[in-house]
Amino acid sequence: GGVAAWGTVLTGIVEIMITFLPGGDAPHGTIIDWFTLFQEDLFMGLRNLGLLNLFFNAFAILIYMALYAVHRHHREQPFAMLAAIISFLGIGVFFATNRAFPMLALSQQYAAASTEAQRVVLEAGGQAMLAVGSSHTPGTFLAFFLIDSAGILISVVMLRSMIFGRAAAYVGILGFGILLVVEFLASFVAGVQDVTILLFMFGGILSMVWNILIARGLVQFGKVL
């Protein structure tokens, strides 16, 4: 669990570094822009459709299993289990709706298409995939809603159990709470992009701090055992 938490920190650092590189922002143009991105820069195409989030959420599975194990003999055990279940549901929805690799396949078919009719069909298919898999849109809201809600709940559990201390609990509640607000604003409220970017940066930093505190706590707990 501690190693997985450090893995999420590393993934977050890589994501931040990529964001500030040239072309680090996901394209907001047409489906043809996406197809072009996949053909010109495979990694950035996959990353902009959640490649790193796949790793992040895979690590999260191990983290929630570890957090449940830590609380299994505590009175908060049922709520720790509920948080784990909610997180697994959210992660499952995210994996099921992620369209990074299907979009790669479509972009390859589009590049090989020989007729306008074929390209029109592929463009329509790609647009449908974006509606489901583009991050911070109604298509991905359910997954992130469940994941962030699980983060808030497990942080409340930590606050009540005091196993990881108050600091980690409060950082988690605030960080995941902000990220939950960001998902709602980005998915359903128009014209607030500047606000969501600032909130996302703040919430992301807090969630990274939370993972660092969790990683240290889990490693120390493992040494005690």
Distance of alpha carbon 179 from alpha carbon 129, whole angstroms: 24
Contact 46, 104 (CB under 8 A): yes
Contact 183, 136 (CB under 8 A): yes
**Number of compact structural domains in the chain:** 1
pLDDT, average across residues 72-94: 94
pLDDT tens for 14-31 read 888 887 776 666 556 788
Residue 102 corresponds to which tokens in the numbers above? 């299907």
Task: Say which amino acid occupies 108.
Answer: Q
Report percent pLDDT > 70 for the chain.
Answer: 95
Could you tell me how many helices (H) and strands (E) the chain has, helices first? 10, 0
- Which range of residues forms the domain containing residue 69? 2-224
CB proximity list for 21: less than 8 A, separation 6 or greater:
none
Q: What is the CA radius of gyration of the chain?
A: 19
Confidence of residue 192 (pLDDT cuts 50, 70, 90): confident
- Among 177, 164, 163, 166, smallest CA distance to 206 is for 177
pLDDT tens for 133-142 read 777 788 889 9
The pLDDT value given to residue 134: 77
Quickly tell me which residue has 């020989």 as its tokens: 114
CB proximity list for 43: less than 8 A, separation 6 or greater:
51
- Is 184 in a helix, a strand, or coil? helix
pTM above 0.75, yes or no: yes
What proportions of the chain, in percent to the nearest 5, are helix, strand and coil? 85, 0, 15
The pLDDT value given to residue 93: 94
pLDDT tens for 40-63 read 889 988 998 889 999 999 999 999
DSSP 8-state assignment for residue 191:
T
Share the mean pLDDT of the chain. Answer: 89
Distance of alpha carbon 63 from alpha carbon 76, whole angstroms: 17
Distance of alpha carbon 105 from alpha carbon 26, whole angstroms: 19
Task: Say which amino acid occupies 44.
Answer: M
Q: Exposed, middle or buried: residue 50 (CB in 10 Å: 0-12, 13-18, 19+)?
A: buried
